[in-house]
């Protein structure tokens, strides 16, 4: 049984997430270039237009330039690549890759995804409604529902409640049923609910991979529930997984 104190904590954390991290929070309308039409909760995100080719020299990660590739730790053997349609678009595609003795290979098909309302930025700040571009480790998971079978440390908590509506008026309920924390401006090795911000509060935080709620996010990446669960089951801490995320042009540098 959840205690009154826990209910208060859950409400505070949920409000904080809506204000500073994932989710929508207000029923704002899409701005120019922010992406395609929304889908209802539980439906697939709209199919994105091609951005970067998923073909490359054998063993190389497609669509990534030398600068981005250099940011991937040498010990990393799993890379979840999220490629945005454009700098100001909220529509992306996502592919999980694994590094073998002969190089990188796709570990699954390309999946639809969503990112922040206003697209991407190389210098994320709280409230800018853009997702951060970069390479970030994936070390911790959690959610409102029971552990779906991930090998990442998993924190099940009522604090993952996601009330309210998103930018298109879509309900946010269920968005945080499952989440994977993106190690941007957070302390890795802790619950996704940890509000420590090493770069300071002004640089934002609370960036997660979470369940797609049918519209753009504040800064997170939304995936269809079944795709997110498959990813969570595939991620292996022993392979030091990372997410490589950004618009196609930025990732190609």
- Interval 229-240: pLDDT, tens: 999 999 999 999
Q: What is the pLDDT of residues 83-92, one digit of tens each?
A: 999 999 999 9
pTM: 0.82
Q: DSSP labels for 146-205?
A: PP-S-SS-EEE-GGG---SB-TTS-B-TTTTSSEEE--SSS-TTS-TT----TT-GGG--
Domain extents in the chain: 4-251
Chain segment 167-194, per-residue pLDDT in tens: 999 999 999 999 999 999 999 999 999 9
């Amino acid at each position: 049984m959840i205690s009154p104190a826990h209910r208060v904590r859950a409400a505070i954390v949920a409000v904080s997430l809506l204000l500073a991290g994932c989710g929508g929070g207000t029923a704002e309308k899409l701005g120019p270039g922010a992406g395609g039409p929304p889908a209802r909760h539980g439906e697939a995100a709209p199919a994105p237009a091609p951005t970067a080719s998923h073909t490359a020299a054998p063993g190389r990660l497609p669509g990534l330039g030398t600068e981005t590739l250099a940011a991937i730790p040498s010990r990393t053997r799993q890379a979840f690549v999220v490629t945005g349609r454009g700098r100001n678009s909220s529509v992306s595609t996502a592919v999980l890759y694994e590094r073998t003795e002969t190089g990188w290979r796709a570990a699954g098909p390309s999946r639809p995804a969503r990112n922040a309302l206003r697209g991407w930025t190389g210098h994320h700040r709280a409230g800018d409604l853009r997702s951060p571009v970069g390479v970030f480790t994936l070390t911790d998971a959690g959610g409102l529902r029971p552990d779906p079978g991930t090998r990442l440390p998993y924190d099940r908590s009522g604090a993952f409640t996601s009330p309210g509506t998103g930018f298109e008026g879509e309900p946010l309920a269920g968005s945080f049923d499952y989440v994977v924390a993106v190690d941007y401006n957070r302390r890795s090795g802790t619950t996704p609910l940890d509000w420590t911000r090493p770069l300071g509060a002004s640089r934002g935080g609370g960036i997660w991979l979470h369940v797609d709620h049918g519209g753009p996010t504040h800064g997170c990446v939304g995936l269809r529930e079944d795709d997110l669960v498959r990813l969570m089951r595939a991620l292996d801490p022993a392979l030091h997984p990372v997410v490589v995320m950004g618009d196609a042009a930025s990732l190609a540098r």
